[in-house]
Amino acid sequence: MLCVILGGRGFLGRHVGKAMAAAGYEVWSVDSAPGAPDDGLPWAAGEVACAYEDVASWLLLCGVPDVIVHLASFTVPAVASANPVEDSEVNLIGTLKLLMGLRQLSKQPRVIFASSGGAVYGRPLVVPLTEAHPTMPLGAYGVTKLAIEHHLRAESQLTGLPYRVLRISNPYGEWQRPHGVQGVIAVFAHRALQRQPVEVWGDGSVVRDFLYAGDVGTAFVAAAAHRGDATTFNIGGGVGISVNEILRTLESLLGHRVDRRMQPARPFDPQVNVLDISLARSQLGWAPEIAFEEGVGRSLQWLRGVE
Amino acid sequence: MLCVILGGRGFLGRHVGKAMAAAGYEVWSVDSAPGAPDDGLPWAAGEVACAYEDVASWLLLCGVPDVIVHLASFTVPAVASANPVEDSEVNLIGTLKLLMGLRQLSKQPRVIFASSGGAVYGRPLVVPLTEAHPTMPLGAYGVTKLAIEHHLRAESQLTGLPYRVLRISNPYGEWQRPHGVQGVIAVFAHRALQRQPVEVWGDGSVVRDFLYAGDVGTAFVAAAAHRGDATTFNIGGGVGISVNEILRTLESLLGHRVDRRMQPARPFDPQVNVLDISLARSQLGWAPEIAFEEGVGRSLQWLRGVE
Say yes or no: B277 contacts chain A, CB-CB below 8 A.
Answer: no
Burial of A227 (0-12, 13-18, 19+ CB in 10 A): exposed
Contact criterion met (CB < 8 Å) for A138 and B157: yes
The span from the CA of A285 to the CA of A230, in Å, is 13
Share of chain A above pLDDT 70, in %: 99
pLDDT for residue B152 is more than 90: yes
Q: Which CATH architecture has domain A2-172+211-236+275-288?
A: 3-Layer(aba) Sandwich (3.40)
Contact criterion met (CB < 8 Å) for A146 and B150: yes
Say yes or no: A100 contacts chain B, CB-CB below 8 A.
Answer: yes
Other residues' Cβ atoms within 10 Å of the Cβ of residue A19: 24
Q: What is the pLDDT of residues B247-274, one digit of tens each?
A: 999 999 999 999 999 999 887 778 899 9
What single-letter DSSP state applies at residue A209? Answer: E
Q: Out of A33-37, A69-73, A183-187, B24-28, which region has the weakest mean confidence (pLDDT)?
A: A33-37
Contact criterion met (CB < 8 Å) for B154 and A97: no
What single-letter DSSP state applies at residue A36? Answer: P
Closest CB from B93, B100, B150 relative to A89: B93
pLDDT for residue B180 is more than 90: no
Contacts A142 to B, Cβ<8 Å: 150, 154
The span from the CA of A185 to the CA of A243, in Å, is 9
pLDDT for residue B307 is more than 80: no
Say yes or no: B92 contacts chain A, CB-CB below 8 A.
Answer: yes
Q: Whose CA is closest to A170, among A138, A212, A204, A202?
A: A212
- Shortest CA gap A235–chain B (Å): 21
Do A181 and A141 form a contact (C-beta atoms < 8 A)?
A: no
CATH 3.90.25.10 residue spans of chain A: 184-208+239-274+293-306
Say yes or no: A143 contacts chain B, CB-CB below 8 A.
Answer: yes
Left (φ > 0), alpha (ψ -120 to 50) or beta: where does B204 sit?
left
pLDDT band at B88 (very low <50, low <70, confident <90, very high): very high
Average the pLDDT over A193-205 and give the result: 94
Predicted local distance difference test score (pLDDT) of residue B182: 76
Residues B2-171+211-236: name the CATH superfamily. Answer: NAD(P)-binding Rossmann-like Domain (3.40.50.720)
pLDDT for residue A182 is more than 80: no
Q: What is the ipTM of this complex?
A: 0.94
Average the pLDDT over B14-36 and give the result: 96
Share of chain B above pLDDT 70, in %: 99
Say yes or no: A182 contacts chain B, CB-CB below 8 A.
Answer: no
**115-134 in chain B: CB under 8 A from chain A:** 134
Task: State whether residue A68 is helix, strand or coil.
Answer: strand
pLDDT for residue A228 is more than 90: yes
Predicted local distance difference test score (pLDDT) of residue A268: 73
Rounded to the nearest 10°, the torsion over CA B3, B9, B11, B16 is: 10
- Shortest CA gap B116–chain A (Å): 16
pLDDT band at B35 (very low <50, low <70, confident <90, very high): confident
Say yes or no: B143 contacts chain A, CB-CB below 8 A.
Answer: yes
CATH 3.40.50.720 residue spans of chain A: 2-172+211-236+275-288
Contact criterion met (CB < 8 Å) for B99 and A84: yes
pLDDT band at B239 (very low <50, low <70, confident <90, very high): very high
Closest CB from A81, A139, A154 relative to B139: A154
Q: Out of A46-50, B162-166, B263-267, B297-301, which region has the weakest mean confidence (pLDDT)?
A: B263-267
The span from the CA of B149 to the CA of A140, in Å, is 11
3-state secondary structure chain B: CEEEEECCCCHHHHHHHHHHHHCCCEEEEECCCCCCCCCCCCCCCEEECCCCCCHHHHHHHHCCCCEEEECCCCCCHHHHHHCHHHHHHHHHHHHHHHHHHHHCCCCCCEEEEEEECCCCCCCCCCCCECCCCCCCCCCHHHHHHHHHHHHHHHHHHHHCCCEEEEEECEEECCCCCCCCCCCHHHHHHHHHHCCCCEEEECCCCCEEEEEEHHHHHHHHHHHHHCCCCCCEEEECCCCEEEHHHHHHHHHHHHCCCCCEEEECCCCCCCCECCECCHHHHHHHCCCCCCCHHHHHHHHHHHHHHHC
Average the pLDDT over B110-116 and give the result: 98
What single-letter DSSP state applies at residue A91? Answer: I
Say yes or no: B269 contacts chain A, CB-CB below 8 A.
Answer: no
pLDDT for residue A171 is more than 80: yes
Say yes or no: A140 contacts chain B, CB-CB below 8 A.
Answer: yes
Contacts B113 to A, Cβ<8 Å: none
Contacts B85 to A, Cβ<8 Å: 93, 96-97, 100
Predicted local distance difference test score (pLDDT) of residue A44: 98
Burial of A11 (0-12, 13-18, 19+ CB in 10 A): buried
* Domain boundaries A184-208+239-274+293-306, corresponding CATH code: 3.90.25.10
Q: What is the pLDDT of residues A94-153, one digit of tens each?
A: 999 999 999 999 999 999 999 999 999 999 999 999 999 999 999 999 999 999 999 999
Q: Which residue of A has its CA nearest to B101?
A: A85
- Shortest CA gap A13–chain B (Å): 26
Side chain identity at A130, as an amino acid letter? Answer: T
pLDDT for residue B222 is more than 90: yes
The residues facing A69 across adjacent strands are: A5, A112
Predicted local distance difference test score (pLDDT) of residue B82: 96
Contact criterion met (CB < 8 Å) for A84 and B147: no
Mean pLDDT, chain A, as a whole number?
96
Other residues' Cβ atoms within 10 Å of the Cβ of residue A219: 28
Contacts B146 to A, Cβ<8 Å: 147, 150
Q: What's the Cα-to-Cα distance from B67 to each of A284, B27, B145, B219, B284, rounded to whole Å?
A: 49, 9, 20, 14, 16
Q: What does R_g of chain A's alpha carbons equal in angstroms?
A: 19
Q: What is the pLDDT of residues A261-296, one digit of tens each?
A: 999 988 777 889 999 999 999 999 999 999 999 999
Q: Which residue of A has its CA nearest to B97?
A: A85
Size of interface A-B (CB pairs under 8 A): 83
Q: Whose CA is closest to A233, among A168, A173, A303, A289?
A: A168
Mean pLDDT, chain B, as a whole number?
96
Average the pLDDT over B150-172 and give the result: 97
Do A238 and A287 form a contact (C-beta atoms < 8 A)?
A: yes
